């Protein structure tokens, strides 16, 4: 039976890399082979993000996103997002994100904001938008080979 853990980051503006609801699954599901629709996303993505709102507590960051398949699901992936602090990965959040293969779009929506990425082969360009639809952060990632 899967263990469900739910947590929302109350300090989104202090740690804005990722704010999602955490949902852990059995380890057998985490290691299941990817479905054809999401297989280009599976792996480690690295890059950076810049703050758009200069009068906020936001800071530019180096990011690592680890993306894995979800067993039996052809249009969702599990994303573990981290930032690099003092040379170490600090996990900011984990969540299940939706992928639209036809649009090459990866998205996650939370009450605190939403992420939207356009996937182009081995690179992703994205934004974190606030509930008022203003862009808070721009994110640029490349897939590890």
Q: What is the pTM of this model?
A: 0.76
Where exactly are the structural domains of the chain? 27-143
Strand residue runs (E) in the chain: 43-51, 61-69, 76-85, 88-100, 105-110, 113-120, 123-129, 135-143
Statement: residue 48 has pLDDT above 50? yes
Superfamily of segment(s) 27-143: Calycin beta-barrel core domain (2.40.128.20)
Measured between alpha carbons, how far is 119 from 129 in angstroms, rounded to an integer?
Answer: 17
Residues 75-133 pLDDT 10s: 999 999 999 999 999 999 999 999 999 999 999 998 889 999 999 999 999 999 999 99
Residues 6+ apart with CB under 8 A from 139: 47, 48, 49, 63, 115, 117, 124, 125, 126, 127, 128
């Amino acid at each position: 039976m899967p263990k469900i853990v739910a947590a929302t980051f109350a300090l989104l503006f202090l740690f804005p890399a990722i704010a999602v609801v955490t949902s852990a699954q059995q380890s057998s599901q985490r290691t299941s082979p990817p479905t054809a629709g999401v297989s280009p996303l599976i792996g480690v993505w690295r890059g950076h993000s810049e703050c758009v709102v200069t009068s906020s507590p936001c800071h530019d960051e180096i990011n690592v996103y680890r993306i894995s398949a979800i067993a039996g699901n052809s249009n969702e992936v599990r994303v573990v997002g981290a930032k690099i602090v003092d040379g170490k990965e600090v996990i900011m959040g984990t969540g299940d994100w939706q992928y639209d293969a036809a649009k090459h779009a990866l998205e996650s929506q939370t009450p605190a904001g939403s992420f939207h990425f356009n996937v182009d082969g081995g690179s992703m360009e994205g934004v974190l938008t606030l509930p008022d639809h203003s862009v808070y952060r721009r994110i640029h990632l490349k897939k590890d080979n």
